[in-house]
Structure 1
Amino acid sequence: MRASLPIALIALVAAVPAQAEEVRVNVPAGRGGEAAAAIARQTGTSIVISDPKLAARRVPAIRGTFTAREAVHRLARALGARPVSAGAMGWRLVVDRQARTHKPASRRKPTRDDAPAPPPPAVGPPIVVSASKRDVRLRDYAGQITIIQGDDLAFGGPGGSERIANQVASVTSTYLGSGRNKLFIRGIADSSFTGPTQATVGQYLGDLRLSYNSPDPDLRLSDMEKVEVLEGPQGTLYGAGSLGGIIRLVPNAPEPGVVSASASLGGSATTHGALGADAGAVMNLPLAGEAATLRLVVDAESQGGYIDKLLLGRDDVNRTRIYGGRAFARADLGGGWTVDLIGLAQRIDGEDSQYADRNGPPLTRSARVVEGFDADYLHGQIVVSGEFGAIRFRSSTGVVDQELQERYDATEPDEPTRVFIQNNDSQMIANETRLWQPMEDRFGWVVGASFTHNRTRLTRSFDAAEVMRASTGVRNGVDEATLYGEASYRLRDGLVATAGGRVTRSELDGAGEDVNPMIALARSEVTAQRHETVFLPSASVTANLLSETALYIKYQEGFRPGGLAIDGEFVRRFRSDRTATLEIGARHGRPGAGPFDLSGSLSFTRWRDIQADFIDPFGLPTTANIGDGQVWTASFSGGVAVTPGLRLEAGLSWNRSRIESPRNFLFTKIGQVPNIANVNARAGFDYHRAIGRDLVLTAQGWARYVGESRLGIGPELGDPQGDYLDSGLTARVGRERMGVTFSVTNIFDTEGNRFALGTPFEIGREQITPLRPRTFRLGLDFAF
């Protein structure tokens, strides 16, 4: 057939959904004709492109939850076309003579104005908050949320949770090392250690927790669709361990009927340190036509060390190696039903710790022992999803095994070397099943149930002069059963009221490890099985004052169950803690699109029976309820399109906290909640420019200021930290399928002192945890 003849692309399905119904659209990057056929098939519509040149144009991937109309308009904008209605469920796409995106290339030298213009915000698809568990549109959502696109997280090579903290001002982290940190959101923090307390931030892969009371596994954020950060508490929908909020990872789903692969290679050099390297690959493989598809992701990274140990005569001791992979298989059962199987594994080997002496030569440590760590993480889940008409169903079941071994220098002054070894091993089985109906017109709801079985074993020992001596440890167990529900009702156009509640019953048990049997018998009441039942209500009202401006007020609660902590030669109980937060906020515009966007909130939190770690009289970390407290938080973020190719963004988080009613004399001078700076601020830019007929320059940069805070609880942990500026810049030149990247982090080579502690033992020296020195990376990425 001659190229001048019309090309007709028509795809119909037997069951045609209503035009207003939202469906999941997953279309890979490719030619416009192929994308039109895929969208038509997935939405049950007819799409015709009669212009062969238009059908041959390439479009980026189109993924998300849209109505058929929204998906067609999104494709039309990517093509530079105009959609023309052809019946109730049909469209023709014709060339839009006024569109700038696909003007014929001229032979003149390209200028700044050659950069593609951003799509008009008025016809953009709605932003859907999938972490709401009922697909709420952003305009109706009450709360602060940041959605980070996966391409932004992977830009410039592999990365983990630190990429999230660099893009969201309200997210902070400790810096003990990859795989053993804690994440904090909105001024809700407890300590620097990874003890028996549950995290204040819930981390999820899809609908299932990454862990229960273990540190952040720091998964590589490769091949992600997006990451959603919801400020908390999020007790109604996510239950225990979401006092500060939740971070939800959404991996890219397999693409049916598509064979594709991509890979990246990179090498890095750290100032004052060693070389590093990284590699990653993604493959999408059909297993049975479009009925079953497998997507594979592998990553490997070696981060060069930069800390010297003078007494051992070793340089750059803290090299860290990270290996990981993920497999995602999807079977399409038809009729809107799918089954997903997801498995991932990651191993982190840290040759030594990354802290330094405060008053010694820069980036050096006077320890005489090796203080390495190992973190292993395994995760598997099966997800069944489907529809009963307008009602949607999802059941997720998963298992997690997480093991962490840490080594600390416990050498006393003028004594033989001694190493403290701590093992934190956790196993979890969890299920969540829910039904929901998105709010199309006036009413939307979700009801669900979940069950979590978690067991954690914390053991300790001292290794001195080739003699291993066990120290008291602890074992904690929890069985948590939950029922929850939430509903929204549109009172009138632009006004939505939402209310919900969660009932959780926790069965708690545990015991001491490596303890004297007589002590265990005499104090058996401490470890006796116990239970607690908690109700967590929530309520909010959202008012859309203008088409792109919303105001909301929200009340929500959160909690963490109690447990057992080490107490000298035995264990003690610590009680559950609970937060109640009242928040008021506003939003304008569409984040990442349109002329500008702005959002802000002010919240007040009452925190009862705060769980926190501190140093006991034996010099070991332990846990207790330190008292009640309150936290004021204000957060702001926004962006502005300066030119069609340049967008600026900024964010600010301000915290003010106070500990009240301390539980004993050790906590009388605490003052503020530890590990949270009074001010965190971030600024960044995103720049795109065509530099030839086939090449595009993309650049992203950021700077982040972290204010001063206190290390932890008690006089031993009263040292100040923070008050530093971090920064980074990444640029890519290339085509869609191949490019070269160059990046630099810590541009100003700031030493700083991040939120961490090298060793809890008094060994006669002050410590800091410096930033990784200025690091350069050169990388290559390609796809086929």
Structure 2
Amino acid sequence: MRVYPVLVAALVASAAYPASAQERRVDVPAGTVADSAIALARQTGSSIVVNGSSLSSRRVARIRGTMSAEAAVQRLARQANARAVRISAMAWRLDPLPARAARPRRDARVTTTERGPRPGPAPTPAAPLPEIVVTASKRELPLKEMPAQVSMIDGEELALGGVGGTEKITQRVATVSSTYLGSGRNKLFIRGIADSSFTGPTQATVGQYLGDIRLSYNAPDPDLRLSDLERVEVLEGPQGTLYGAGSLGGIIRLVPNSPELSRSFASGTLGGALTEHGDGSADLGLIANLPLASDKAALRVTLDGVTEGGYIDKPFLDRTDVNRTSILSGRAILRAQLAPDWTIDLIGLGQTTHAQDSQYVTRNQPGYDSAARVREGSDAEYLHGQIVVDGRIGAVRLRSSTAIADQTLEERYDASTEQERLFVQRNETRMIAHETRLWQPIDDRFGWVAGLSLVDNRTQLNRSLRQMTLRAATTGVLNTVTEATVYAEGSYRLHDNLIATLGARYSLVRLGGSAEDVSAALAIERAAVTAKRDQSAFLPSASLMARLAPETSLYLRYQEGFRPGGLAIEGEFVRRFDRDDAQTFEVGVRHGVPGRDPFDLALNLSYTRWNDIQADFIDVAGLPSTANIGDGRVWTISASAGVYLAPDLRLTGGASVNRSSIDEPPFNLILLMGRTSHVPNIAEFSGRLGLEYSRPIGGNLDLDARAWASYIGKSRLGIGPELGDLQGDYLDSGLTLRIGNDRIGGTLSITNLADAKGNRFALGTPFAVVRAQETPLRPRTIRIGVDFAF
């Protein structure tokens, strides 16, 4: 037998690492077995020999975490479908396993109940490659068995080049888009399901979650810092059965890293940036993990601060670079192990965002000048507390989560006419949410999940007009929602390669509210409008998943979603708008695992029927209002793919094509809104290309490089003639380089490489739509940073 050695690490390193059981931080990039063995041996001070050139050329996924040298080698062996044979205390040999052992038959598994004499030492049994598990399925479905379009972004990828917010998701997933009023003020959309440009009483079409609990019910995206996350999961299309109201377009789920009970560590980042045509920026991030109570508990703390320099000028105020934004964010997770299979987590999260001024400019001007005559801007605060109990009862898993969230947003808009006027809108939201669920992952035949949830949400929207020293309150509104839900979903393996899934959710919703700051003459009319009322919703789902080949699957899916109604302001009146709902049929195909296989592809075609669409328009007083504008149909084709051009170089891409139409709105709204034919804020085409390069460069250093470019097509701002402006049609790009190891590294990042101005969003203030506004991209920005761990 010929031994093909790809590495003989210096054996003197064993003096620094006297035992293979000693844990250390490991971060080995994805690549061939040969390259991974080299990097792993260097990081652990071990010696690894790969037996056979065919094994050395196999591709394996990234290996990262804190583990012993032995555990790291065993993980490499499992990914490579190989057997790790110990040669000495810190030396191993990887032998390829027979091809027939790579996929053991399902009916040939050995159970723990078998008895009898055990033979002598046997070779390490074959192990399939580790599954990519989608926890947003609420029952840990393997990605290859998930009947939906899913995007998963690794937390370390999001943090590369400095911690950011939601924009890092929109840059990586072509089907996710956003408005661009400013951090803490935006609305997110997925797959062509978009309703409006403003922060109003409607519930978002995208559900945002921290673990199992939503971040908010009908408030804007808080733009949380994506720091110290295990991953972000994006599920496209309605998710009504598992997630209920407010998931018409899909969900975005943040999965934070959990505290580690047996290891202390700390890490951090520090960076500074310069923006062309603008001011400088700085950012700082810290992460610490501290075991407590004899390794039965641990505390993990994350702190982020950033100040982003402005680049917008206001000549009427003789001020430059007015739109500086400062963000301070923190998160703490305390985990205690109650029993071997039971833990309890206490989670606290807070973020404050202060934008000194607005970020829009006058369209078709050469520079970055705004015609506003007052200081605008916003202040946003977000607080979230959560308690999570997780455990196991035999083969059944249980998870119970309870949370309270408070979100406040104050926005200021230029409402000047002949005189300077400032319009101030304050949105205060308080949400209490609970979910308890039981589940059992799918095995040979059957898997299921069942749960209940309760949500109580209160949102108060107040408005005022300020002119010089005068201040006048305008009509405001209070919306209350109480939602109780039960849901269940089950999957049955009809055949080894065919899985059928059925599910349903039943929700009872009580709506209430009142008008605020209304003149006495309207008090009688408002009583009838704001009376409490009840709604119910039944949301079924069904899917069929077929494995066409070992790495290729096809699925069919039907799903529904809804949003409850509420109260909206129109002039001095408060009136109701009704619930809307969506039904989606989709078909998709998936091949390979991103980042692991030589080629991967996910393709999806969906059709959505959207009834009684809730959307915003400009009322007779020039203020945003909300109404049901009619029924719509949305066709979407989305795709994502990746291919290894070389062992260390991967090309990725994604695209989304949307076609939508809206029926004529009710007659009483035609005079206000006019006729519209397309869903707003969604480009007909969006696409992205990226390059990922990772390899050791010697001297105990690794090089990681990421380059990307994305195109956002044309879309319209909103509903009605006042909001009919075009936006989009621009190219954005970026580059990030990191050189370092698992202890320290330096990064260079450049965003907006071409220094394109673009038009991300055609709105800054709804009171001046005749000014032809636009929100440009941040000009070319160069950031230099350092990250460290100890």
- TM-score normalized by the length of structure 2: 0.87
Q: Residue 471 of structure 2 aligns with which residue?
A: 468
5+ unaligned residues in a row in structure 1: which ranges?
A: 12-26, 33-50, 86-90, 100-120
1:746 maps to which of 737, 741, 752: 752
1:421 maps to which of 424, 435, 445: 424
- Do structure 1's residue 257 and structure 2's residue 257 form an aligned pair? no
User: Post-superposition shift, 1:714?
Assistant: 0.6
Alignment of 1:532-547 (within 5 A): 532-547=535-550
After superposition, give the CA deviation of every residue in 1:721-761 in whole Å (9 maximum; x if it has no partner): 00000011000011221011000000001111113510000
User: Post-superposition shift, 1:715?
Assistant: 0.4
Letter in 2 for 1:512: A
User: Post-superposition shift, 1:395?
Assistant: 0.2
After superposition, give the CA deviation of every residue in 1:259-313 in whole Å (9 maximum; x if it has no partner): 1000111000000000010000000001112200000000000001000001111
Q: Residue 172 of structure 1 aligns with which residue?
A: 177
Q: Residue 29 of structure 1 aligns with which residue?
A: 25
2:237 maps to which of 232, 235, 239: 232
Q: Distance in 2 between matches of 1:270 and 1:196?
A: 36
Q: Distance in 2 between matches of 1:262 and 1:136?
A: 32
1:372 maps to which of 371, 377, 398: 377
Q: Distance in 2 between matches of 1:63 and 1:504?
A: 43
Query: The residue matched to 2:203 in structure 1 has which SS?
Result: coil
Letter in 2 for 1:135: E
- Do structure 1's residue 210 and structure 2's residue 206 form an aligned pair? no
Q: Residue 75 of structure 2 aligns with which residue?
A: 74
Q: Residue 327 of structure 1 aligns with which residue?
A: 332
User: Post-superposition shift, 1:525?
Assistant: 1.3
- Do structure 1's residue 150 and structure 2's residue 155 form an aligned pair? yes
Q: Residue 187 of structure 2 aligns with which residue?
A: 182
Alignment of 1:136-535 (within 5 A): 136-412=141-417, 415-535=418-538
Q: Residue 113 of structure 1 aligns with which residue?
A: none
Query: The residue matched to 1:96 in structure 2 has which SS?
Result: strand
Letter in 1 for 2:576: R
Q: Residue 585 of structure 2 aligns with which residue?
A: 582
Q: Distance in 1 between matches of 2:27 and 2:212?
A: 33
1:53 maps to which of 28, 34, 46: 46
Letter in 2 for 1:183: L
Letter in 2 for 1:94: W
Aligned partners of 1:674 and 1:709 also within 8 Å: yes
Letter in 2 for 1:769: T
Aligned partners of 1:420 and 1:463 also within 8 Å: yes
Aligned partners of 1:328 and 1:342 also within 8 Å: yes
- Name whichever of 586-595 and 514-523 sits farther off: 514-523
Q: Residue 738 of structure 2 aligns with which residue?
A: 732
Q: Residue 83 of structure 1 aligns with which residue?
A: 84
Query: The residue matched to 1:751 in structure 2 has which SS?
Result: coil
Letter in 2 for 1:29: R
Q: Distance in 2 between matches of 1:4 and 1:521?
A: 85
User: Post-superposition shift, 1:358?
Assistant: 0.7
Aligned partners of 2:617 and 2:673 also within 8 Å: no
Aligned partners of 1:28 and 1:255 also within 8 Å: no
Q: Distance in 2 between matches of 1:428 and 1:264?
A: 33
1:694 maps to which of 696, 700, 705: 700
User: Post-superposition shift, 1:520?
Assistant: 2.2
Q: Distance in 2 between matches of 1:634 and 1:764?
A: 35
- TM-score normalized by the length of structure 1: 0.88
Q: Distance in 1 between matches of 2:502 and 2:403?
A: 29
Alignment of 1:552-701 (within 5 A): 552-663=555-666, 664-665=669-670, 666-701=672-707
| Residues 93, 654 of structure 1: alpha-carbon distance in 2 compared, 3 angstrom cutoff | farther
Aligned partners of 2:727 and 2:761 also within 8 Å: yes
Q: Residue 708 of structure 1 aligns with which residue?
A: 714
| Residues 740, 674 of structure 1: alpha-carbon distance in 2 compared, 3 angstrom cutoff | same
Aligned partners of 2:203 and 2:217 also within 8 Å: yes
Aligned partners of 2:63 and 2:72 also within 8 Å: no
Aligned partners of 2:356 and 2:378 also within 8 Å: yes
User: Post-superposition shift, 1:61?
Assistant: 2.9
| Residues 185, 4 of structure 1: alpha-carbon distance in 2 compared, 3 angstrom cutoff | closer
Aligned partners of 2:634 and 2:659 also within 8 Å: yes
Letter in 1 for 2:583: A
Q: Distance in 1 between matches of 2:81 and 2:634?
A: 49
Q: Distance in 1 between matches of 2:287 and 2:265?
A: 8
5+ unaligned residues in a row in structure 2: which ranges?
A: 1-11, 29-43, 50-61, 98-125
Q: Residue 16 of structure 1 aligns with which residue?
A: none
Aligned partners of 2:456 and 2:483 also within 8 Å: yes
After superposition, give the CA deviation of every residue in 1:106-144 in whole Å (9 maximum; x if it has no partner): xxxxxxxxxxxxxxx994211111000001111211010
Aligned partners of 1:80 and 1:95 also within 8 Å: no
After superposition, give the CA deviation of every residue in 1:533-590 in whole Å (9 maximum; x if it has no partner): 0000000000001110000000000000000000211201000000000000000001
Q: Distance in 1 between matches of 2:578 and 2:74?
A: 54
Q: Distance in 2 between matches of 1:454 and 1:686?
A: 43
| Residues 158, 639 of structure 1: alpha-carbon distance in 2 compared, 3 angstrom cutoff | same
User: Post-superposition shift, 1:691?
Assistant: 1.9
Q: Distance in 1 between matches of 2:288 and 2:16?
A: 36
User: Post-superposition shift, 1:95?
Assistant: 2.0
User: Post-superposition shift, 1:75?
Assistant: 4.6
Aligned partners of 1:74 and 1:124 also within 8 Å: no
Q: Residue 7 of structure 2 aligns with which residue?
A: none
| Residues 611, 774 of structure 1: alpha-carbon distance in 2 compared, 3 angstrom cutoff | same
Q: Distance in 2 between matches of 1:695 and 1:134?
A: 39
Query: The residue matched to 2:197 in structure 1 has which SS?
Result: coil
| Residues 10, 686 of structure 1: alpha-carbon distance in 2 compared, 3 angstrom cutoff | closer
Q: Distance in 2 between matches of 1:258 and 1:747?
A: 41
| Residues 122, 660 of structure 1: alpha-carbon distance in 2 compared, 3 angstrom cutoff | farther
Query: The residue matched to 1:417 in structure 2 has which SS?
Result: coil
User: Post-superposition shift, 1:662?
Assistant: 1.4
Letter in 2 for 1:564: L
Letter in 2 for 1:762: A
User: Post-superposition shift, 1:72?
Assistant: 8.0
User: Post-superposition shift, 1:593?
Assistant: 1.3
Q: Distance in 2 between matches of 1:162 and 1:608?
A: 30
Q: Distance in 2 between matches of 1:53 and 1:359?
A: 62
After superposition, give the CA deviation of every residue in 1:60-113 in whole Å (9 maximum; x if it has no partner): 53499xxxx99985254689983369xxxxx999322789xxxxxxxxxxxxxx
Aligned partners of 1:73 and 1:123 also within 8 Å: no
Letter in 2 for 1:542: M
Q: Residue 19 of structure 1 aligns with which residue?
A: none
Q: Residue 39 of structure 1 aligns with which residue?
A: none
Aligned partners of 1:562 and 1:573 also within 8 Å: yes
Q: Distance in 1 between matches of 2:686 and 2:439?
A: 37
Aligned partners of 1:81 and 1:95 also within 8 Å: no
Q: Distance in 1 between matches of 2:359 and 2:464?
A: 22
- Name whichever of 366-375 and 759-768 sits farther off: 759-768
1:94 maps to which of 80, 92, 95: 92
After superposition, give the CA deviation of every residue in 1:403-444 in whole Å (9 maximum; x if it has no partner): 0000000001xx120000000000000000000000121100
Q: Distance in 2 between matches of 1:492 and 1:739?
A: 49
Aligned partners of 2:83 and 2:96 also within 8 Å: no
